[in-house]
Amino acid sequence: MKKFASILLLLVCLSIINCKRKADPSESKETFFPVLSFIKSQVAHIDTSLYSIKKIDLTDTSHFDTVYVPRDQFKGLAKDFLSIPDITEKKYAARYTEEKIFDETLNRVIISYKPQNMEKEEVQKQEILITPDPSGDKVSSIIIDYVISNKDSFLMKRMLWETDKSFQVTTTAQKPGKPETTSILKVTWE
């Protein structure tokens, strides 16, 4: 009798777990590509590597500066990427749409995320370019457009992360009564 009761209890538990699994619609919904997590893993890899890291600064084409930087400063240089909102979180995901296409010319899968309401979101676009390969697909680059705008100033960052190679941040800023400024920060590692 104890054996029968144990089996019956086990079957009831399994059916409850199975019902809960079917009832959760979030499990069947596709999830967005984890851009922020991917970039954090790249930063962690570089932080523990022996790469030579080079920083190139260009401000309004009048100032050009190239320097080698210590590895412990890399995370600070990548702060623009590390501080973007994570649109995979539930509070953001419902406000973005996803589009997946294959570009035969580039031989890349492009996954694009755009906000449903452009005026309300700071992340205006995220694009992930993936190179298909039978041995394993590889993220080749990530493009992010980030905008902060209020009634008297404007800041736009166009960011490009090239996997295992470099990143670039082009910043355009407009402050009241001042001319628009543009600066480019490019960081490479070898």
pLDDT at 118: 87
User: What whole-number distance in Å separates Cα of residue 25 and Cα of residue 164?
Assistant: 36
Read off the pLDDT band of 175 (50, 70, 90): confident
Give the model confidence (pLDDT) of 13-60 as tens digits: 334 444 444 434 444 346 899 999 999 999 999 999 999 999 999 986
For residue 135, give both structure tokens.
């041995």
DSSP one-letter string for 113-168: EEESSTTT-SEEEEEEEEE--TT--EEEEEEEEEEEE-SS-EEEEEEEEETTTEEE
Residue 22 has a pLDDT of: 43
Residue-level pLDDT at 21: 43
Does the pLDDT of residue 157 top 80, yes or no? Answer: yes
Measured between its terminal Cα atoms, the distance across the chain in Å is: 69
Which SS3 state, helix, strand or coil, does residue 24 take?
A: coil
The answer for residues whose C-beta is within 8 angstroms of residue 163's C-beta and 6 or more apart is: 42, 138, 139, 140, 141, 142
pLDDT tens sequence across 84-131: 999 999 888 899 999 999 999 999 999 999 999 988 899 999 999 999
pLDDT(3) > 80? no
> How much is the pLDDT for 30?
62
**Which region, left, alpha or beta, applies to residue 73 given φ > 0 means left and ψ of -120 to 50 means alpha?**
alpha
Reference 111, options 26, 38, 188; nearest CA is 38
CB atoms within 10 A of CB 7: 10
The residue type at 104: E
Look at residue 61 in the predicted model and tell me its pLDDT: 62
pLDDT of residue 15: 44
Yes or no: say if 69 and 52 are a contact pair by the CB < 8 Å rule: no
pLDDT value for 178 = 87
